[in-house]
Structure 1
Amino acid sequence: MRIPVPEEVLPASELGRVHCVGIGGAGISAIARIMARRGVPVSGSDDHDTPFLPALRELGVACHLGYAAEHVADADTLVVTTAAREDNPEVLEARRRGLRVLPRSAGLAAVMAGSRVLAVAGTHGKTTTTGLLTSALLAAGLDPSYAVGGVLTATGRNADAGADDLFVAEADESDGAFLVYRPHAAIVTNVEADHLDNWGTEEAYHQAFSDFAATIDRDGFLVCVVDDPGAADLARQAREQGLEVVTVGESTEADLRVHDLVLDGSTSRCRVSRDGTDLGDLTLRIPGRHYVLDAVAALAMGLRLGCAFDALVAGLSGFTGTGRRMELKGEAGGVRVYDSYAHHPVEIRGDLEAARALAGEGRVVAAFQPHLVSRTRIFGTAMGEELGAADEVVVLDVYVAREEPDPSVTGRLVADAVPLPAGRVAYVDDLGAATRELAGRARPGDLVITLGAGDVTTVGPEVLALLAAAGGA
């Protein structure tokens, strides 16, 4: 559902009683949690239970399952997920009564009002980088508010209200939400075309990031990972427009540079220098080159804010991840099972590289569920090609989400592009079949990974249950 952002976004304290449509999602639940922690009366509804709801209920937030006009009750303001349908009864009721109706982006802007916003944007890596930055700042003695697109393992929450004036926010470009936030400073991890169902063209998508950089405070700054061509181009543009830019990466052109990168099982190590001066070592408890670059971007922002290198590194080193980002689900029968939100070819490549490092001598057995018809139409072949980095692959049908199905665009498009022998690639059309395929293909020493932004996340625990039932627990 498209809801316009009002010309003036009121602070959350002036919104009255707030009802959140889609409160079970990562973004809306974060807004609701911060509102509740600040004393704003808030309730919400979702069409199904999610892992974010128990923590909200503990704060006294009424979370309804299912949508109904009566749930709006005496609300003054609705905050609505982009996934809501046009005929949502709660939105229709709010409009009938003339209530204030805000999109998710404006709801987040309302809770950020009066804060120095540190926004984390990029096609890939936003959630992990937001989590890394939050962990680093907390270790450096700061107490920021934060809103992350996944649960931080360290805190068990995806959002909280801190005592400082800093607000760390994941800035989502998918629907243009990040153009609303007016940050003091921002990180851009990479810029590579995605969400073309909204932006239409690759050029429009890149222009959105240029527009985002133009919203940063003129006395603020931008951190860009210049190993990525799109982010490097954005850094160049921003500097030409007079914005302070800090660049990071393995590139010799980077201000904060990564040296001697080593991926060793579940850890990653490197040295970091700034303008040619060695700063010290960084060791992460998460695997993968892309996560190292995310961490160094967070380090660069913390250093620019005046935090000590050692304190920031301690926070980064203690970071153990966020939900659905190379998340270990368990082990049974000598098989480890991981889950990842990867849904774009670049993300698939990065997470399979990390999975390979984790697997050691074992094989990588991957299941992938394409997300969105439009994304699969554009990137399906590239998705399949990247999945060829695994040893065995199971591809599911498209998770349709907010779009209508297209019989000509299915998971078969992805499966047919996987460059592995036919016997090592399976195409299935339901979660149960995917579970059975994975459990049947996996053997002791292997690593199983489920990839995708849809409900494929439920498959991992079922695979573990099958393996355990087979006598491998």
Structure 2
Amino acid sequence: MSLVKLVDPVAAEELGRVHFIGIGGAGMSGIARILLKRGVKVSGSDARGSDMVAELRELGAVVHIGHAASHIRDIDTVVVSTAIRDSNPELGEALKQGLRVIPRAAALASVMAGRTGVAVAGTHGKTTTTSMLTVALQKCGADPSYCVGGQLVTTGLGADEGSGGVFVAEADESDGSFLMLAPEIAVVTNVEPDHLDNYGDERAYRASFDRFAQRVGGVLVLCADDPGAMALASRTSARVVTYGVAQGADYQVADVRPDGFGVVFTVTGRGEVRLAVPGAHNALNATAVIAVAEALGRPFDDVKAGLAAFTGAKRRMEAKGEAGGVAVFDSYAHHPTELATDLRAARDVVASYSGDGRVIAIFQPHLYSRTRFFADEFGTALGLADEAVVLDVYGAREDPEPGVSGAMVASRIPHERVTYVPDKTAVPRVVADLARPGDIVLTMGAGDVTELGPLIVRELGA
């Protein structure tokens, strides 16, 4: 997959009848939902049915299962997911008819037009921070529209149309399409090399964030603890606001400590904040939310209450169940830094509850290219777990590469408490044999490893 061709977005009312190729995906379905609520005629297709597809149909969308050129009839605009290949028959037909064909981010920019746009970007933490901000603003009475790359636990939705004047969106840098957004307020949580299969090298990846910073119209909120984020401060005309543990941060985080499954911390000069989600990284995410909310005119005490009501996003340290004294969680972490962050958070939870439990990581590498680029770093991160179980690579859009497999990652883990299990179906039994009361099991990866959580719970209880 190459970087998308950037296009100038048009206002939502100019899109006409819209067809989504890959409508069942998290990002695509969210935009479709918002357009449907605005009265736009929406159709789409996806490789398979799902609860999301069923919901869109209930809202009035015409959704086809499978892709065929015949689905492109009486359409004005076609929105294409980055997962769609050039050979897709619907894409080919749309181009043949000379229809407007735009990537998902251009459609997102269209539905954001006319609202106060707030975009959350960064290599890590985008979904959680966007979700936190959405829930906090909802609890403050702002009722924002939102589009998140995951699902809120509070609503079960990844996107919705709100009655307020603010639109909160996750800005995805993976294919460069976040450069179609021009938000009034933006957050950059961190900038660290990723998606090198698209960008080619680290310099090109960082340059995309430079260009994003230049598109922010009002306030740019940067993490003071991250050199990559702070490098953007001199590359924007927006007002820069910083947050983090670092001395001199405008919103300084202090006294971070575990609190059961949550975390408590202080924002210097403002007060204590209590979260129902774990990890020092979430203290930082929440502080970014406070900075944005105050830029929108929301008082700290209201925002603090909203943050306390945030119970997480799907696949972000999501509880899947407990059996035999072992708690099972699921995480979307698929980059070495994300693995390390979630494993440290899991360690905090164990320490807060029992103190002698272990952290068992179940990791499925995502993409052959990412596995090849970061095999050593994945191994180091998984070394933070007491036990590691490594699956084979989930290729997603990529074809297999000779010599690249889960075994490559397993061999880099700096201790011997690792098991390579290429057969995914064998994992629940392997984990049940490893786990003991007080342990936390964390399934990790952007692929179908998420399906294992309930199966592991069932096996633990057998």
Normalised by the length of structure 2, the TM-score is 0.96
- Distance of aligned partners of 1:446 and 1:54 in 2 relative to their CA distance in 1, 3 Å threshold: farther
Partner of 1:435: 428
Partner of 1:161: 161
Structure 1 residue corresponding to 2:445, chosen from 435, 452, 469: 452
Q: Is the contact between residue 35 and residue 111 of structure 1 (CA under 8 Å) also seen in structure 2?
A: yes
- Letter aligned with residue 30 of structure 2: A
Deviation at 1:285, TM superposition (A): 0.3
Deviation at 1:358, TM superposition (A): 1.8
Matching of residue 285 in structure 1 with residue 276 in structure 2? yes
Deviation at 1:2, TM superposition (A): 5.4
- Distance of aligned partners of 1:264 and 1:58 in 2 relative to their CA distance in 1, 3 Å threshold: same
Deviation at 1:439, TM superposition (A): 2.3
Deviation at 1:281, TM superposition (A): 0.8
User: Secondary structure at 1:52's aligned position in 2?
Assistant: helix
- Distance of aligned partners of 1:118 and 1:69 in 2 relative to their CA distance in 1, 3 Å threshold: same
Deviations for 1:72-116, whole angstroms, at most 9, x for unmatched residues? 332221101001112111111212222221111111112112222
User: Secondary structure at 2:255's aligned position in 1?
Assistant: strand
- Letter aligned with residue 273 of structure 2: L
In structure 2, distance between residues paired with 1:4 and 1:191? 20
- Where do 5+ consecutive residues of structure 1 fail to align? none
User: Secondary structure at 2:314's aligned position in 1?
Assistant: coil
Normalised by the length of structure 1, the TM-score is 0.94
Matching of residue 298 in structure 1 with residue 296 in structure 2? no
Partner of 2:231: 233
In structure 2, distance between residues paired with 1:89 and 1:440? 47
- Distance of aligned partners of 1:348 and 1:232 in 2 relative to their CA distance in 1, 3 Å threshold: same
- Letter aligned with residue 319 of structure 1: F
- Letter aligned with residue 408 of structure 2: L
Q: Is the contact between residue 151 and residue 158 of structure 2 (CA under 8 Å) also seen in structure 1?
A: yes
- Where do 5+ consecutive residues of structure 2 fail to align? none
Deviations for 1:19-65, whole angstroms, at most 9, x for unmatched residues? 11111111111111111111111122111334533432331223322
**Which range moved further: 126-135 or 65-74?**
65-74
In structure 2, distance between residues paired with 1:7 and 1:71? 24
Partner of 2:93: 93
Partner of 1:254: 249
Matched residues, number: 458
Q: Is the contact between residue 131 and residue 152 of structure 1 (CA under 8 Å) also seen in structure 2?
A: yes
Deviations for 1:242-279, whole angstroms, at most 9, x for unmatched residues? 43100000111201011111123311001112xxxx21
Deviations for 1:125-180, whole angstroms, at most 9, x for unmatched residues? 00000001111111222121100011101111100111222110000000011110
Structure 2 residue corresponding to 1:412, chosen from 404, 407, 416: 407
User: Secondary structure at 1:323's aligned position in 2?
Assistant: coil
Q: Is the contact between residue 127 and residue 148 of structure 2 (CA under 8 Å) also seen in structure 1?
A: yes
In structure 1, distance between residues paired with 2:374 and 2:111? 35
Q: Is the contact between residue 3 and residue 199 of structure 2 (CA under 8 Å) also seen in structure 1?
A: no
User: Secondary structure at 1:445's aligned position in 2?
Assistant: coil
Extract structure 1 runs of 4+ deviating beyond 4 A.
1-7
In structure 2, distance between residues paired with 1:34 and 1:376? 36
Deviation at 1:434, TM superposition (A): 2.2
In structure 1, distance between residues paired with 2:229 and 2:212? 12
Q: Is the contact between residue 7 and residue 106 of structure 2 (CA under 8 Å) also seen in structure 1?
A: no
Structure 2 residue corresponding to 1:390, chosen from 356, 365, 385: 385
Partner of 1:53: 53
Partner of 2:359: 364
In structure 2, distance between residues paired with 1:112 and 1:243? 19
- Distance of aligned partners of 1:76 and 1:243 in 2 relative to their CA distance in 1, 3 Å threshold: closer
Deviation at 1:5, TM superposition (A): 4.8
- Distance of aligned partners of 1:308 and 1:243 in 2 relative to their CA distance in 1, 3 Å threshold: same
Deviation at 1:381, TM superposition (A): 1.1
Q: Is the contact between residue 4 and residue 177 of structure 2 (CA under 8 Å) also seen in structure 1?
A: no
Q: Is the contact between residue 140 and residue 312 of structure 1 (CA under 8 Å) also seen in structure 2?
A: yes
Deviations for 1:174-219, whole angstroms, at most 9, x for unmatched residues? 00111101111100000001011111111111111111000111xx
Q: Is the contact between residue 3 and residue 102 of structure 1 (CA under 8 Å) also seen in structure 2?
A: no
- Distance of aligned partners of 1:51 and 1:283 in 2 relative to their CA distance in 1, 3 Å threshold: farther
Structure 1 residue corresponding to 2:238, chosen from 243, 248, 264: 243
The two structures, once aligned, show a CA RMSD in angstroms of: 1.5
Deviations for 1:295-338, whole angstroms, at most 9, x for unmatched residues? 10011010111111111011111100100000001112221110
- Letter aligned with residue 227 of structure 2: P
Counting only pairs closer than 5 Å after superposition, residues 106-145 of structure 1 correspond to structure 2 as 106-145=106-145
Q: Is the contact between residue 30 and residue 159 of structure 1 (CA under 8 Å) also seen in structure 2?
A: yes
User: Secondary structure at 1:296's aligned position in 2?
Assistant: helix
Deviation at 1:12, TM superposition (A): 2.0
Matching of residue 331 in structure 1 with residue 343 in structure 2? no
In structure 1, distance between residues paired with 2:164 and 2:266? 30
